[in-house]
């Protein structure tokens, strides 16, 4: 018997697996060629924008078959938006209120249905997201129409301003048809909202849907007082900002283009609420203050996040500062009418708090905050100089305000170690002290012997002090000069 043959015929020896090592997994079956799984919403572990393999392909490999569909999608979305705006402005003006409301509701539902059709029938996700995003964006217009029906039922169509009455107003339809319309609309709109948010921002779909519906619910309220609308809008914007910082801004999937778009869409009901009151009802100081504040907040914090260049971000924030000043002036006039204030404090009350706000915003601004702090300190200097020059003879209040401003600028300059703020504070102090010396000179002309006696005594005391402490003062001056060289 051959030993080698018997050895080769034996089964292979089993090698024991080390303790703790997992067993090998069976090989996965090969995927069928040409199959692609399409999701209505984004996958849990990656953003929705990364589904298409063409997005990762180099730019030179992209052909017209990839570019043209994108152009067509944007063109179609633009045409649908124009069609919706045309319907709201001029379409079906002579139709009944229920027909207008039902037509636009059906149009919104049709867009959402087209998105679902693209997903489950054609297995195409980009067109589906486009349709669903448009349907979700049109939801505030549907709620605004329901709000117009409620307002007409409670106040009548003549409560609107005459200018836009024919286009955007509704006639009363009766309580029973109104309740039925509201019920049917909510049954349709709430699922549409959740479908849209789950398709484009799955991780925050439930919370976003709830916040979006709360904002749209404000459009149903039958009150149009400007101050009330401004207060409700301010509360809603504050809540949305806090919710965005706590829930949405930290998720990686909500930082994609789709996620940012849906996060921005949460503010659409607030914008429509304000625009409706602005166009169709009397303006109030509270509403004007909110509009200016919201515009400043958008230019300072919202828009710079979408701009790629630092120069554009700085320009956007620069345009927000005049809006902040306008909002502050309107707020002061609403709380303390300007014609009731003394002339000696109007200018400081209007400008100095705004300059303090610029100081605070300089630590959050784009670029170098030292430039903004320098501009704010120079504006404070000019405010004090103008106030003292024009109204200094009306009392001591302008000079006292200037002295306090100078001391505050000097304190901030030594804390932040900034030369521009120091120079502005020193200039304010010199001008204020000079104004007091001017008053003292006027007193001297009236009481010459007392002034000469005080001046002679002060000069002798100053000479004695310099003779005794001249060396120490020189060393202190040198230390201050070396310290100032290291300042910004």
- What DSSP letter does each residue of 253-276 carry, written as one string? GGGSHHHHHHHHHTTHHHHHHHHH
pLDDT of the residue at 341: 77
Q: Is 92 left (phi over 0), alpha (psi -120 to 50) or beta?
A: left
Q: How many CA atoms are closer than 13 Å to the CA of 428, on its beta-carbon side?
A: 30
Cβ–Cβ under 8 Å, residues 139 and 209: no
pLDDT of the residue at 415: 87
Contacts of residue 81, Cβ cutoff 8 Å, sequence gap at least 6 = 134
Average per-residue pLDDT for the chain: 78
**C-alpha to C-alpha distance for 422 and 323, rounded to whole angstroms:** 28
Kindly indicate the confidence band of residue 168, based on its pLDDT and cuts at 50, 70 and 90: low
CB atoms inside a 10 Å sphere around CB 183: 10
pLDDT of the residue at 309: 86
Residue 363 per-residue DSSP state? T
CB atoms inside a 10 Å sphere around CB 17: 10
Mean pLDDT for the stretch of residues 367-383: 90
**C-alpha to C-alpha distance for 442 and 23, rounded to whole angstroms:** 101
Place of tokens 């502005």: 424
Residue 93: pLDDT over 60: no
Place of tokens 């991780």: 203
Q: Is 367 left (phi over 0), alpha (psi -120 to 50) or beta?
A: left
Residue 47: pLDDT over 50: no
**C-alpha to C-alpha distance for 345 and 391, rounded to whole angstroms:** 9
Residue 5: pLDDT over 50: no
**C-alpha to C-alpha distance for 425 and 381, rounded to whole angstroms:** 7
**C-alpha to C-alpha distance for 265 and 212, rounded to whole angstroms:** 8
- C-alpha torsion sign, points 41, 46, 50, 53: negative
Residue 36: pLDDT over 60: no
pLDDT of the residue at 140: 94
pLDDT of the residue at 75: 77
Phi first, then psi, for residue 197 (nearest 5°) are -70, -35
Tokens of 181: 């319309």
- Reference 288, options 346, 330, 235; nearest CA is 330
**C-alpha to C-alpha distance for 83 and 132, rounded to whole angstroms:** 16
Place of tokens 């990364």: 50
Kindly indicate the confidence band of residue 2, based on its pLDDT and cuts at 50, 70 and 90: very low
pLDDT of the residue at 49: 38
Which string of b and e fits 418-452 if b means at least 16 CB within 10 Å? bebbbbbbebbbebbeebeeeeeeeebeeeeeeee
What does the pLDDT look like over 250-282, one tens digit per residue? Answer: 877 788 888 888 999 999 999 999 998 888 888
**C-alpha to C-alpha distance for 424 and 355, rounded to whole angstroms:** 13
What does the pLDDT look like over 330-366, one tens digit per residue? Answer: 999 888 877 777 778 888 999 999 999 999 999 988 8
- How close are the terminal C-alpha atoms of the chain, in Å? 98
């Amino acid at each position: 018997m051959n030993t080698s043959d018997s050895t080769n015929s034996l089964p292979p020896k089993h090698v024991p697996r080390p303790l703790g090592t997992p067993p090998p997994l069976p090989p996965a079956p090969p995927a069928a060629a040409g199959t692609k799984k399409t999701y209505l919403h984004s996958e849990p572990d990656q953003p929705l924008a990364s589904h298409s393999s063409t997005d990762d392909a180099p730019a030179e490999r992209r052909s017209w078959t990839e570019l043209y569909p994108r152009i067509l999608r944007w063109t179609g979305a633009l045409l649908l938006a124009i069609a919706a705006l045309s319907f709201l402005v001029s379409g079906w003006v002579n139709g009944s209120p229920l027909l207008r409301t039902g037509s636009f509701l059906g149009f919104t539902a049709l867009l959402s249905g087209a998105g679902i059709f693209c997903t489950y029938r054609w297995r195409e996700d980009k067109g589906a997201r486009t349709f669903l995003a448009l349907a979700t964006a049109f939801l505030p217009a549907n709620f605004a129409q329901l709000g117009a029906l409620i307002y007409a039922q409670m106040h009548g169509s003549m409560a609107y301003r005459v200018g836009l009455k024919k286009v955007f107003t509704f006639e009363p339809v009766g309580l029973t048809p109104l309740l039925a319309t509201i019920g049917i609309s909510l049954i349709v709109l709430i699922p549409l909202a959740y479908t849209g948010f789950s398709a484009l921002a799955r991780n925050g779909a439930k919370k976003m849907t709830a916040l979006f519906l709360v904002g749209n619910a404000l459009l149903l309220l039958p009150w149009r007082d400007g101050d009330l609308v401004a207060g409700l809008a301010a509360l809603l914007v504050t809540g949305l900002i806090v919710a965005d910082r706590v829930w949405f801004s930290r998720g990686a999937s909500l930082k994609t283009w789709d996620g940012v778009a849906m996060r921005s869409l949460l503010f659409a009901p607030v914008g429509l609420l304000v625009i409706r009151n602005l166009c169709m009802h009397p303006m109030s100081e509270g509403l004007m203050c909110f509009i200016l504040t919201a515009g400043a907040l958008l230019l300072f914090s919202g828009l710079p996040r979408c701009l790629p260049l630092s120069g554009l971000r700085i320009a956007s924030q620069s345009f927000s500062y005049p809006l902040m000043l306008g909002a502050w002036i309107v707020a002061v006039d609403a709380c303390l009418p300007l014609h009731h204030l003394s002339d000696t404090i109007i200018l400081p009350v209007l400008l100095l708090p705004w300059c303090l706000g610029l100081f605070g915003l300089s630590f959050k601004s784009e670029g170098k905050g030292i430039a903004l702090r320098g501009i704010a300190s120079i504006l404070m200097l000019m405010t004090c100089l103008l106030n003292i020059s024009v109204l200094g003879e009306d009392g001591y209040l302008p000079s006292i305000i200037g002295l306090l401003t100078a001391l505050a600028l000097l304190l901030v300059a030594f804390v932040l170690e900034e030369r521009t703020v120091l120079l502005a504070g020193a200039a304010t102090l010199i001008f204020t002290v000079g104004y007091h010396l001017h008053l003292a000179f006027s007193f001297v002309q009236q009481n010459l012997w007392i002034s000469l006696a005080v001046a002679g005594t002060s000069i002798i005391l100053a000479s004695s002090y310099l003779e005794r402490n001249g060396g120490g003062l020189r060393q202190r001056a040198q230390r201050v000069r070396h310290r100032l060289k290291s300042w910004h």
